[in-house]
Amino acid sequence: MIGTGPAIALVARREIVERIRERSLWVSTGVTIAVLAGVLLLPSALGFGGATKATVAAAGPEALRVAAAARSAQRAFDVSLTVRRVGDDAAARALVRSGDADVAVLRGGRALAAAQDADDAVVAAVQAGSQAVRGGRPPPPLPVSRAGNGDAQARSGIAFVAVVVLYGQLLGYGFWVATGVVEEKATRVVELLLSAIRPRQLLAGKVIGIGVLGLGQLLLIGVVGALIGAASGQLDLSSDVVVAVGVVLAWFVLGFGLYSCAFAVAGALVPRQEEIQSVTAPLTILILASFFLGFGALDDPGSELARVLSFVPPSAPMVMPVRLIAGDVPAWEVVASAALTLAAAAALVMLAARIYSAAVLRTGARVSLRAAWRASAERSA
């Protein structure tokens, strides 16, 4: 028998080499990048979206006059303004901070409060309205103060892309693990492999090899997508983008470690490719449910439900990345979530290795999970 380290490395390298040669890998990578490029480039290229819509809060009669004049000039700035009257400056600033208004006209029309991410064209339109109202010699621009969490919308958009990519990668590479196991059973290759290495070494090498490949594909997609977005002007290569890519990669590793062994066990239970869909259905439903829970966390990353789901291992790889990218998460919650996911993955690895060892050599009819567990118990007795 080959030593544990060399055996795992040998299987991992075999998986990487074999998968890289498959056209499906490159097709899926190209399609993903093309879709990402389309999302970034097509709206502006085809002129979708129309005028930028924004809300202007106006505190008092003079502020209302400025806002009304801005609306009259809105076409020149390609914006569509909605005016919202409020009682005083404090209420106007509160609307900007909460995201319910993009710009607020304050102090009797003599100052502006704008959200951090307020469009420059919106601010320029309000400035033009101020100049029109004040008349005479061109007055200086109104002083502008920034308020609110300006990065919230951008971070939510990045989080949306992150959870979609994580869902696709975890599900896709999980199926690759299950498919690889069934292929080896159907062609009897597994019998040759297990004459030289142990089942646990084969399982570990397969999971590590496919996981490394998935991580590399994710990194490639993330880098190319960021470059396309930066080149088109649709995305700023800020620290938020870099952090988001790192978060997605880290939680892909944790999520893949959690789910991949379960997919390997599912593949070991069936003898033919046609049965993979049915045997992996519970895992597919679990990942899909986690995907929708991750979407739910986008609306309120700090909600009690999102916090609880961050500590539940099956949903943590989808929910915690969303909370990290879209909101502020205490460090202890991140550490606790990662630790619980790692602990669950480690327990699943040991359980999966035991069942995999008992089921992978059983060909012919489909093996039930109970029968595989009973066989593994007999082997260890």
Per-residue pLDDT of 329-350, as tens digits, reads: 888 998 999 999 999 888 887 7
Domain ranges of the chain: 4-42+152-380, 52-147
Report for 23-27, 178-182, 306-310, 357-361: range of highest mean pLDDT: 306-310
pLDDT of the residue at 192 = 77
Q: How far apart are CA 202 and CA 208, in angstroms?
A: 10
Q: Is the dihedral of CA 26, 30, 36, 40 positive or negative?
A: positive
> Residue 173's closest CA among 281, 261, 268, 294?
261
pLDDT of the residue at 165 = 81
Does 84 score more than 80 pLDDT? yes
What mean pLDDT is reported for the chain? 80
Q: How far apart are CA 221 and CA 244, in angstroms?
A: 13
pLDDT in tens, 217-266: 888 887 887 787 777 666 666 666 677 778 888 888 888 888 888 888 88
Amino acid at 376: S
Measure the CA angle with vertex 125, ends 148 and 115; round to 5°.
5
Tokens of 110: 């003599």
Does 51 score more than 70 pLDDT? no
What is the bridge-based pairing of β-strands 144-147 and 111-115? parallel
Compute CA 237 distance to the chain's CA centroid, rounded to the nearest angstrom.
Answer: 17
Amino acid at 279: V
Do residues 122 and 52 touch, judged by C-beta distance below 8 A? yes
Position 147 confidence tier, pLDDT thresholds 50, 70, 90: low
What percent of the chain is modeled with pLDDT above 90?
6
Helix (H, G, I), strand (E, B) or coil at 165: helix
Tokens of 8: 């795992």
Range of lowest pLDDT (128-137, 230-239, 278-287, 309-318)? 230-239
Does 313 score more than 80 pLDDT? yes
Q: How far is CA 57 from CA 95, 116, 135, 341, in A?
A: 7, 15, 22, 46
Q: How far apart are CA 77 and CA 265, in angstroms?
A: 60
Buried b or exposed e, range 49-59, using 16+ CB within 10 angstroms: eeebebbbbbb
Position 369 confidence tier, pLDDT thresholds 50, 70, 90: confident
10 Å Cβ neighbour count for 152? 16
Residue 327 or 269, more confident: 269
Which CATH number, 3.40.50, 3.30.1370, 3.40.190, 3.40.630, labels domain 52-147?
Answer: 3.40.190
pLDDT in tens, 189-218: 777 777 788 877 888 888 888 888 888 888
Position 145 confidence tier, pLDDT thresholds 50, 70, 90: low
Mean of the pLDDT values across residues 288-307? 84
Tokens of 17: 């080499």
Q: How far apart are CA 204 and CA 212, in angstroms?
A: 12
10 Å Cβ neighbour count for 357? 21
Do residues 151 and 159 touch, judged by C-beta distance below 8 A? no
